[in-house]
Amino acid sequence: MTHLETELSNLRLELNEMWALVISQVKESQAALLNFDKEAAAEVLFKEKMVDVFELKLYRDCENIIALYNPVASDLRLTLAIIKIVLNLERIGDFAKGIAKFVDKSPRDKINPELLKVSHAEELLTSALAMLTDAKTALDNENSRMAISIFAKDSLIDEITRGANKFIGDYIIQYPTEVDEALNIHNIIRKIERMGDHCNNIAEEIVFYVEAKVLKHNKAARK
Amino acid sequence: MSKIETKDVNLYYGDFQALKNISMQMEEHTVTALIGPSGCGKSTYLRLFNRMNDLIDNVKIEGEVFVEDENIYQKGVNVDELRMKVGMVFQKPNPFPKSIFENVAYGLRVNGINDKHIVEETVVRSLKQAALWEEVDDKLHKSAFELSGGQQQRLCIARALAISPSIVLMDEPASALDPISTAKIEELIHELKKEYTIVIVTHNMQQAGRVSDFTGFFYIGELIEFGRTVDIFTSPVKKQTENYITGRFG
């Protein structure tokens, strides 16, 4: 291995560590929400600081690689892609933190299962988690087809969340004393939708790295 | 402990001052790159450490130059012993008109080491360290001139390593080589620093970034900035350094 290859390999290992941390944050935020588990919520909040540290370290490492080794071709695309992937992972971690904060700060000790059901929160978080995990596998295996398949999963999330206003509205009509709770869950649905968007962005960067194709702002090319 | 160090060194070629008040420390098992435009004093500075400037007429040196805590310009210093401790590789590969084997063995023989086993062992070790062994193991008694430019340069590195220096000076070791040979030399430098302290003069800033731990930027005989290579190439302190490494002058 050349020196640059060693540096890029270390960069990918570090990225995988950050990725695993964010995956665990999303999993734990799901457990926190569905079971109203304040301990799981605290775990997500604790991990946030570690994600921030990884973000700054990875940016610095990418900067150093570009400055010292002048990578070109796929090495350059990988370094640039990792910068963007880190940004998106950090945002996903932030949204998981937002969900955990809701549970952590809530004066209640449980959430109405009916609200969870109509909001499809479990289904949405499971989809977001699958997108995040598939994206990691796609990069590990340099599989652009797998990366592209993530766009379809995001479409599913978008389809469900498009109905959010209606089903939250209907719930408020049915349970008028739970307006606060319902609005918080509406907020959470929007966070999950954004998680999906960021997973989409990650998938675009993987395709850019593997195939040197830019899919950003080009929906037709995603097929 | 710094392996090599200069304190307030000034060097004159007659009336011309080539080095101005240079103080720098280089640690053990590091690679230090010296960069700067042509004529700025990089090679002159490099040649301080094995007293090669002694061979030039009208040279005057002020200040102190330390190799392993010994001031090498004080009276009584054995220059031959110094040059065994501090090896050098030059820009143009300069193998002797001898066989590959004898090129590497030469340094041992002139120092009175003629034991067959020791010489053979040392030649093999040095060629392996220089990443050349596998390319020449079946033709050790062929002329060194039959090797390619890149191979000749690695032979010169093996020759320098055979006398077990602790410091290796390299004056633009890859500037006469093709990109593949250059890459091999650079990977070799990366391996060699595990055992040696290396100072390399280079005009190629990207090379300095790739191979070195520390970088010193020289300009018109002065050391403008010295620091970790990663800092020099991401956030240099001096504007002059920034201008040079970004290609805005020099």
Tens of pLDDT, residue by residue over A39-94, are 999 999 999 999 999 999 999 999 999 999 999 888 999 999 999 999 999 999 99
Residue B1 has a pLDDT of 54
Residue of B nearest to A1 (CA): B187
- Sequence-ordered list of residues with C-beta below 8 angstroms from that of A53, at least 6 positions apart, any chain: none
Interface check A4 vs B, CB under 8 A: yes
Give the model's confidence band at A123: pLDDT under 50 very low, under 70 low, under 90 confident, else very high. very high
Select from A2, A4, A68 the Cβ nearest to the Cβ of B230.
Answer: A68
CA B175 from chain centre, in angstroms, equals 13
Residue of B nearest to A62 (CA): B234
Is the Cβ pair B206, A70 closer than 8 Å? yes
ipTM of the complex in this document: 0.71
Interface check A3 vs B, CB under 8 A: yes
Interface check A2 vs B, CB under 8 A: yes
Exposed, middle or buried by CB within 10 Å (0-12, 13-18, 19+), for B97? exposed
For residues A193 and B40, give the distance between their C-alpha atoms in angstroms, rounded to a whole number: 59
Own/partner pairs, A116-120, CB within 8 angstroms, 24+ separation: A116/A33, A116/A34, A116/A185, A118/A167, A118/A168, A118/A170, A118/A171, A119/A164, A119/A167, A119/A168, A119/A171, A119/A185, A119/A186, A119/A188, A119/A189, A120/A160, A120/A189
- Sequence-ordered list of residues with C-beta below 8 angstroms from that of B173, at least 6 positions apart, any chain: B89, B90, B91, B153, B157, B185, B200
| Contacts A67 to B, Cβ<8 Å | 209, 230, 233-234
Is the Cβ pair A64, B190 closer than 8 Å? no
| Contacts A2 to B, Cβ<8 Å | 183, 187
List, for residues B55-86, the tens digit of each pLDDT value.
998 999 999 999 999 999 999 999 999 999 99
Report pTM.
0.82
For residues A103 and A125, give the distance between their C-alpha atoms in angstroms, rounded to a whole number: 15
Interface check B214 vs A, CB under 8 A: no
Residue A85 has a pLDDT of 98
Give the model's confidence band at B3: pLDDT under 50 very low, under 70 low, under 90 confident, else very high. confident
Give the model's confidence band at A107: pLDDT under 50 very low, under 70 low, under 90 confident, else very high. confident
